[in-house]
Amino acid sequence: MARILIVDDDPDIRTILADRLAARGHEIIEEADGLKAVETSARELPDLMLLDLDLPGTDGLVVLDRLRQEISSPTVVVITAFATIEKAVEAMRRGAFDFLPKPFQPGLVELTVHKALERNELREENRALRAAIPGGKPLIGASSALRELLDNARKAADSKSTVLLLGESGTGKEVLARSLHAWSPRASRPFIAVNCVALSEELLESELFGHEKGAFTGAHQQKLGKFELANHGTIFLDEVGDIRESLQVKLLRVLQEHEFERVGGTKPIRTDIRVIAATNRNLEDAVRSGRFREDLYYRLNVVRLRLPPLRDRRDDIPLLVEHFLRKYCAETGKTIPAISADAMDLLRQHDWPGNVRELENAIERAVVLGGGPQIRASDLAVLPGASRAAPDLPALDTPVGEFHEAVERFKRELIERALLATSGNQTRAAEMLGLQRTYLSRLIKHFKNREGADADADS
């Protein structure tokens, strides 16, 4: 049964509604004052509010507006006289679920309340489904390390506090960020992820804060930034430790003042967002060296969650393997194979420097290239210790000369092939190669600089 808050200044109306709904087993709370009702709602967290629109002193529409500013607010059914149906329609525009006209028709109260509570149940079911598989990528495992992490994450999800996710590349920081959002009261609002190293410094500023028309060359129209688009929801700042100091100052202002300005703009823009940040860097070292603002670090580091590397939760590997086998067999139309004991031993013994992402890539490759009824150790050719008839490496098109030059050519060719296979998408190319996105970017820049130097030497 539900907890229902009845808000009406007429005690007879409150009594009629309270008696009828209490007889159905519901818990009833009563208030005669609109502003007190807002406070009671925040304290008692009712499932449903029956709200009279014609309250003395405080209009019911004002109460609705106040409730909309709260993250956790009940479903609202408004009560109104037949003469003010237009006001009830306006209330529904402002977020009310339905309305009850006075005088009450027999059975209509119970029916309307039932529909409102049924809507609550559907909303909770959807929220539970999103929490189970946030963003389509569930957090899988039964190890004590993962259970402890998820327990703390669920506690943090209900708050408005900024969360800092720490952990190596590939441990699932974005998956956990999506889970935090799905478990939070903001689950029905936007979740927007921003990779802070995927864009140049200038583009990142425009991406985060937006820009006004004419703010810079090429700014042909106004653009809303991610902080505006994520209003009332959650923004996930991945690799936050890599942003430059001028952007750190702007980010600090958003966290402190909940406002910012678009690039080229002068008007402050208010925003209500929950910030989740992630990094694989040691921010304390960055603070000591002056590369990261200490005040921003403390603003981000309100709730800190550290994702364990896969080598510290090896007991989860069989569950992850089963999940990825099902996923990629479904995508390729293949029957789910068994996995041999020696293959599983190999998977459990590997240190997984690329963590869950590396394991997923290994299983995907085994499914795509394997053809037998089971995954064998030889199907895991990318791992040390896997037996194979011949090295599974691309042949070099150039003759091998001095060792370091040969290694450079080999690296360059691997990167070129990965970028060609992913149409230039560096994030997907990095995943294909089992590299961190930032490391791949540095390699690409290195080879471009080498090309420029070679061209200067030839001229």
Q: What local confidence, expressed as pLDDT, does residue 119 receive?
A: 74
Q: What local confidence, expressed as pLDDT, does residue 404 receive?
A: 56
| Under 8 Å between Cβ of 447 and 415 | yes
Residue given tokens 């823009």 in the structure block: 269
Which 3 state secondary structure label does DSSP give 449? helix
Contacts 24+ apart (CB under 8 A), 77-86: 77/48, 77/49, 77/50, 77/51, 77/112, 77/113, 77/116, 78/50, 78/51, 78/52, 78/53, 79/8, 79/13, 79/50, 79/51, 79/52, 79/53, 80/52, 80/53, 80/54, 81/54, 84/53, 84/54
Closest CA to 339 of 330, 352, 348: 348
List for the chain the helix, strand, coil content (%; round to 5). Answer: 50, 15, 35
Q: What local confidence, expressed as pLDDT, does residue 345 receive?
A: 85
Question: Model-level pTM?
Answer: 0.56
From residue 115, give the alpha-carbon distance in Å to each of 26, 111, 119, 122, 325.
14, 6, 6, 11, 42
Kindly list the structural domains of the chain, giving each domain's residue range(s) and its CATH number in brackets, ordered by start: 3-129 (3.40.50.2300), 134-308 (3.40.50.300), 313-379 (1.10.8.60), 403-458 (1.10.10)
Q: Which amino acid is at 282?
A: N
Show the low-confidence residues of the chain (pLDDT under 70): 68-72, 82-84, 106, 122-138, 381-382, 384-407, 434, 451-459
| Under 8 Å between Cβ of 312 and 145 | yes
Q: What local confidence, expressed as pLDDT, does residue 458 receive?
A: 54
Quote the percentage of the chain above a pLDDT of 70.
86
Beta-strand ranges (E) seen in 257-315 are 259-260, 269-270, 274-279, 303-306
Q: What local confidence, expressed as pLDDT, does residue 180 receive?
A: 93
Going by the DSSP 8-state scheme, the letter that residue 74 receives in this structure is: -
Query: How many whole angstroms separate alpha carbon 116 and alpha carbon 337?
Result: 47
Residue given tokens 């808050």 in the structure block: 5
Average pLDDT, the chain: 83
Q: What local confidence, expressed as pLDDT, does residue 249 receive?
A: 92
